[in-house]
Structure 1
């Protein structure tokens, strides 16, 4: 983080700009427009922030004429630079991991919109609102996930960049451990990725659901075909040949009992480790409900080893209203959150269970309450659980906005 010191960053430049007419510019270009202009210059350049700051000083010094309005110049210029510091972030993430980004707007009218873009392309508009914050989750990141992600605020016909987040993905994943969350269901999947600069003659993916229960799932050796050994059948994207540097174990669909620790092991040691937590949502009765019938919604996480918060949201269009939440801070085999809905509370058919770990949104599991027209329990709507596993591919990402009149105290 860059820290500005007046004696080293401001005073030396005060003498340079003490006679420049920045007031004229301020009258013609508002601070926000100037801020966005400098932000765009910064993002399109390959300069580091300190070097960019120095270049901007030189450019402004060469363009401005002498005047008595230097203090306004200095203050306005540093406000612009501070905005860049606080809204820009660069992050290096592990290949194959999940990445959650957040964007906040303290004061936003109901007519305003907030969305994420990647390098100018708007992401799929799957939105939730919560405390005027926008979230985006990138699943199983690789080199295609790299780039600049922009959080845009559209208000009164004007577009403003609120946050820029640059994502860089590591080329390899040696000695790394990461945790991912997936909703169980027919359309859900997860890819476990091994990629190494070094060539290994033997590789295997293992699964450990409980201590000292490790079993081999898939193995490959130079000159020998891939061997399937474990109870989890490899998905269509699993590796089928030996390369020595790249080995994928793809799981599809993801069952709730597939939670556990997955390791890729070479001849000598563990190369990479992925901890999988599974999520399951259900509705009771499962075959459809009458209009005057009560309903029970359940959200479960397979295992809890750290602070996890489950949140049930009632969906009203793109707005999620907080109904119930629960936080587990101690190790537990399972975390379950149940909501009992009276007959007059079942009109909203679309619900979502959000999963947070500490201050990070990790997953979202949607479910739909099906209506039935008679006591025969023949559903009038097709599906009760809506899987989103098919969007958990690199660069196919969700934006999560949620807004609620209740307070969910999760410090992001």
Structure 2
């Protein structure tokens, strides 16, 4: 019987110790350490503005390192934390376009445990086309920023999916009228606006959480003029079988990318930070691709695997996968409980046998004592009878 609980999405305040118990026996204890990245100011910034990023960890009980990595894959901040220090700040003096993504990495004993990306949304996107990367885990978000003014003409957001050859209108506004979301047939409640009525030159949308199938080209148009185009490339990791497996079984992990361009690379990294497999794409193609990795579950150390997407030698996105093994804790606990029960049962049996043996010995001693007393009584009775007989004989002789 499975007694599984799922928390989604995980919040920073969910950190703590989770215990699964059966009566007085503890089967599993999980210590959850959470990481978050915050920005000040928290909203979209203009080129040249200063932004302070803070990476915080909920608990520090062992030597822990926080590392900031920019969009070029370069380490720009590194700090070993103590019990009192639990965060690392990074000041960005200029929100450069080439470094719009920043990643905080948490290392424990030189092993990368988790990565927390931060995407610096910029507002200087007039007449530009750029690419962003998102995964479909950890409640990821896509912000669609458009500064087009709809005071004189119709403004709209359209979406051309990578998996379909059509253009869909997902949001419109006309002459500062309320924004109409027309893409809910697909996105449902995941597509939202930052405000109901257009604010001068602010026609911004957000998709949260991002799904793998959301990949495609998002275009903001003012009349017939295309104001900005954002290409979304999505990456995801799947497992077969998808649920927790029994120790000894193999698991096939698949890292998929929605669209492939030249100089793109998928890499699998184990918990030691070692590259175990990679696939290099040499040409562009308007379709996705993937990289599979078969891993054994009898390796109790390497239970975390990370897929990394590189573009022109720059890491664009990290997707961790945590392998769940059923017998990792339950079998050992069950064996321990059974062993303890058997020991207790054997002790009780030996106690009963000992007590019964002692009872039998005591009964035999008691019977022997009664037999001896009976012999003594019979001897006394015989002596008494003999004395009486002797007394009668003496009287008859006289």
Q: Give the TM bin, normalised by the shorter chain.
A: 0.5 to 0.7
The normalised TM-score by structure 2 is 0.52
Q: Which runs of 5+ in 1 are unaligned?
A: 1-90, 94-98, 106-114, 143-170, 378-412
Give the deviation of 1:200 after TM superposition. 5.4
1:279 paired residue number = 235
Does residue 323 (structure 1) correspond to residue 276 (structure 2)? The answer is: yes
List aligned pairs for 1:128-277, cutoff 5 A.
138-142=118-122, 171-185=123-137, 187-196=139-148, 201-210=153-162, 213-230=166-183, 231-233=186-188, 234-236=190-192, 238-277=194-233
The 3-state SS of whatever aligns with 1:224 is coil
| Match for residue 74 of structure 2 among 83, 86, 103 | 103
Q: Is the 8 A contact 2:238 2:255 kept in 1?
A: yes
Cα separation, partners in 2 of 1:250 and 1:123, compared to 1, 3 Å = closer
Aligned to 1:338: 292
Rg (Cα) greater in structure: 2
Per the alignment, do residues 198 and 208 of structure 1 end up closer, same or farther by CA in structure 2, a change over 3 Å counting? closer
Partners of 1:353 and 1:188 lie apart in 2 by 16
Indicate conservation of the 8 Å contact 1:221/1:242, yes or no.
Answer: no
1:282: Cα distance to partner?
1.4
Q: Encode CA deviations 1:219-272: one digit per residue, 9 max, x unaligned.
A: 111253211112223545544211241111111121111111000011131000
Are the structure 2 counterparts of residues 190 and 293 from structure 1 closer, same or farther at C-alpha, using a change threshold of 3 Å? Answer: same
Name segments (4+ residues, structure 1) moved above 4 Å.
Answer: 120-125, 127-130, 135-138, 196-200
* Residue 128 of structure 1, CA deviation: 9.6
Q: Deviations over 1:163-210 (max 9, x none)?
A: xxxxxxxx5211111111110136121111112589654211100125
Please list the CA deviations of residues 342-385 of structure 1 after superposition, one character each: whole Å capped at 9, or x if unmatched.
343464111111110112111011111111139x99xxxxxxxx
The aligned residue for residue 366 of structure 1 is 320
TM-score, length basis structure 1: 0.51
Q: Distance in 1 between matches of 2:152 and 2:117?
A: 32
Aligned to 2:388: none
Residue number among 72, 79, 91 corresponding to 1:119 in the alignment: 91
Q: Which is bigger in relative contact order (C-alpha 8 A, separation at least 6)? A: 1
Q: 1:306 to 1:287 in 2, by over 3 A?
A: same
Are residues 285 and 254 of structure 1, via their aligned partners in 2, closer, same or farther at CA, if it must alter by over 3 Å? same
2:339 is aligned to none
Alpha carbons of 1:267 and 1:244: their partners in 2 closer, same or farther (altered >3 Å)? farther
- Contact 1:299–1:336 (8 Å) recurs in 2: yes
Partner of residue 311, structure 1: 267
Alpha-carbon offset, residue 129 of structure 1: 11
Q: 1:104 to 1:368 in 2, by over 3 A?
A: closer
1:350 aligns with 2:296: no
Aligned residues: 240
Deviations along 1:382-409, one digit per CA (max 9) or x if unpaired, are xxxxxxxxxxxxxxxxxxxxxxxxxxxx
SS at match of 2:298: helix
Correspondence for 1:18: none
CA root-mean-square deviation: 3.8
Matched residues in 1 for 2:88 and 2:73: separation? 10
